[in-house]
Structure formats: C-alpha cells, structure tokens
Amino acid sequence: MAGKEDFYTILGVPREAKEAEIKKAYRRLARKNHPDVNPGDKSAEERFKKIQEAYDVLSDAKKRAIYDQYGFYSDNIREQAGARGRGAGGAASQGFDFSGAGFGGGGFRDIFSELFGRGRQEAPTRGEDLEQQLNISFTESIRGFSARLSIARREACTACGGSGADRSHSQQVCPRCQGSGQEARSQGFMKVSGPCRMCGGNGRVGGRCGACGGSGSRPVEETVTVRIPPGVASGYRMRVAGKGNAGRNGSPPGDLYLIISVRPHEFFRREGNDIVCTVPITLTEAALGARIEVPSVDGKALLKIPPGTQSGQKFRLRGKGAPSLRGDVPGNQIVEVRVVVPHAADERSREILRELARLNPEDPRAGLQGL
C-alpha cells in the first residue's frame, strides 16, 4: 500500500479541500481522461481508473475520514470502524453515518451521470424506425418530384405524456430501483447505470394508461409531403427525419425510410447514371448517313448517323442521362442503332438491291473462310 499514489495528488487538490472543490476537480479530470474521449489510449484509461477510485473515496465523508487516518481505504477497515462505533454506543458517537453517500446523497454515480448524460430517469431512447415502399415512374425518378404520402405510425399518447402510466391513480415506488429509475450494471472495470427494467426508468409503477393501454403511444394516419430528388434509382433508401414511431417518456421519435422502386420504361433503361435506348434506322440512313431525331428524357434530341453505320453500333448523347445524387456531372444517353432491312415487295426493288450487290461485291463473311 505504501507505493500507492496519493488520492489528493491524483485529483490535484489540497488535503483541506472542500467537497465542492473535489467535485469540480473530478469533473474536469474525468472529462479529459474518459475512454470515450480517448479511444485506444491505455494510459488515459489507467488515469481514468485512478481518478474514479480517488473520487469514490474522497467524495464520501466516511471513506475520506478513514483514508485521512490510515493513508489508504478498504472496506475491512470501514467495517472494523463501524463495529467499534456500535460497541461504543453506535456509529454516531464515532462521527460516522453509514446511511448516506456524501455530497447530498448523490455520490459518485450522480456526478458520473451529470458528466456523461446519464440521468436518474430513463435515458432518451429514439422511437422505432419505419420503412415504406414507394413505387414511382421512370420519368419521376429522373426529374424528381414532390410526393404526398399517407403513413401509419405511432405518436406519443397525449393522455399520459408518453409514459404509459395512468395519471388518475397514484403510482407506487418501483421495488426494483427504489424510485431512482436506474439500476447498476457492470461493464468491464466500472459500473454504469441504465434504465430500470421493471419501471422503464420512471421510478414508479402502477396502473396503465387507459388511452394507450400502457404503451405510451397511439396509432395515427398521417399525410406528409416528401421531395424525391432527381436521379434516384430502385433500391434507393431515403430518410424522412422524425416520422417514425414515437419514443417513450418524451424521447425523440424514430425516422421513416422510403425504399424507392422504379417502374420499367417502355423505351429507356438505366445503367448506372447512363440511360440506354435502341433506335431503328433504315438501310439507306445506315449506308449514306443521316441526322435523325431520337427521344430523350428532356424531349427530342438530334443524333448524327455517319455513313456506313452498322446495326448494333452505339452513339453517345453527352449529359442526356440521369442526374447524379452526389452533385457530379449527369450521365449520358447511349443510343444503340438497329438497321431495319427493307422488304423487297416488287421486282423494281429487287432489281435495285441486285444492282447494289454488283456495285459493292465485298463479302462480309470473308474472314470466316479459314474456320
């Protein structure tokens, strides 16, 4: 025990320090060295352990008195001191009162709660998130639009304020947490408080709210207007904040997630941010070249077909694709041409085609002869 670091030195306070001074020093050091603030820092974790141990003793008047007398603290010494006190007429005659924890009865756990947001009532817990499918057209997915949706969700019960308790009848102190709303749980090297599993953090138990049956929420149908951004695709998950189910005891609601499903288009199809389509052209247009009109998501667009174009050849209309959700440049429209061979319905047409073959005798299958 002789090599153990002095608790007053750890907290950086003099031995005659008052309770408020010790509390202030602890809060400052605990914030600075907490593991959540220093992830992966083993030295900070060790310092935090020492700070906790020092404060746990110096914040308790009885423990501090033992520490000041012996230079260290242990539960065995405290029990012996208590036994001597009872033998001499009770603990009060020795100046010890084991009914409290010092600092107004709150002690270490309350200060820790103040520091890191863990109150004596139920910690805020978000309500349940909801998901809803939204089926939209191909054009709506490209251009974006405002959608009016009817959603089924649960909102906080106004009769009980979301507590689930019957306010018209008296509530009893929870026997599990003795009204604190918290119960201690061990997590590694320290104990932390969480909401009581019997009362849900209320600290009291009793009759259930007649309006909501004790759930703290009630079902509602709500109409909301949501802006669908341009460029969404099937499978896109869109968050609508605060439109999930209500939280309990005033906790914030969850979120609504819209899962986008895009109906197929009869002409266009999407590949990434590119929009792909197939356009038929005549044999003459393919052979001689032409300028043709093709559909696009923005209306008609002109496409130049160079002479000698083959069926299946692809052309690009730059910037005519889907918008980027990340704000980048939009995709392109990819036009694949399909050459339509005319049906020679009369002898004159057949004669023209035979003349064309005589004037252009190249064999398109010449490269296959060696196979």
What pLDDT digit, counting tens, does each position of 269-300 carry? 999 999 999 999 999 999 999 999 999 999 99
Nearest-10 crossing angle of helices 61-70, 42-58 = 100
Distance CA 81, CA 77 (A): 6
pLDDT band at 213 (very low <50, low <70, confident <90, very high): confident
pLDDT of residue 314 exceeding 80, the answer is yes
Terminal C-alpha separation, the chain: 93
pLDDT of residue 2: 41
pLDDT band at 75 (very low <50, low <70, confident <90, very high): low
What is the average pLDDT score of the chain?
81
More confident residue, 370 or 57: 57
**Segment among 88-92, 170-174, 260-264 with least mean pLDDT:** 88-92
Query: How is 284-322 classified by DSSP, letter by letter?
Result: HHHHH-EEEEEEETTEEEEEEE-TTPPTT-EEEETT-SP
* Gyration radius of the chain over CA positions: 39
pLDDT band at 116 (very low <50, low <70, confident <90, very high): very low
Tokens 């700070």 correspond to 51
pLDDT of residue 158: 84
Contact yes or no for 163/248 (Cβ under 8 A): yes
pLDDT of residue 255 exceeding 50, the answer is yes
Helix %, strand %, coil % of the chain (to 5)? 25, 25, 45
pLDDT of residue 95: 39
Distance CA 92, CA 148 (A): 71
Percent of the chain with pLDDT over 70: 80
**Segment among 35-39, 199-203, 272-276, 321-325 with least mean pLDDT:** 199-203
Average pLDDT of the residues in 163-174: 71
pLDDT of residue 106 exceeding 50, the answer is no
More confident residue, 94 or 287: 287
Which of 1-10, 248-257, 305-314 ranks highest by mean pLDDT? 305-314
DSSP 137: -
Which of 141-150, 192-201, 241-250, 350-359 ranks highest by mean pLDDT? 141-150
Integer CA distances (angstroms), 44 to 29, 37, 38, in order: 10, 9, 7
pLDDT band at 143 (very low <50, low <70, confident <90, very high): very high
pLDDT of residue 365: 83
Helices in the chain by DSSP H: which ranges? 7-11, 19-33, 42-58, 61-70, 75-87, 107-116, 138-143, 283-288, 347-359
pLDDT of residue 171: 67
Tokens 């509390």 correspond to 23
pLDDT of residue 302 exceeding 60, the answer is yes
pLDDT of residue 242: 92
CA angle 84, 88, 92 (to 5 degrees): 85
pLDDT of residue 76: 58
pLDDT of residue 194: 75
More confident residue, 51 or 203: 51
Distance CA 87, CA 77 (A): 15
pLDDT of residue 308 exceeding 90, the answer is yes
Long-range contacts of 359-362 (CB under 8 A, 24+ apart): none
**Segment among 81-95, 151-165, 182-196 with least mean pLDDT:** 81-95
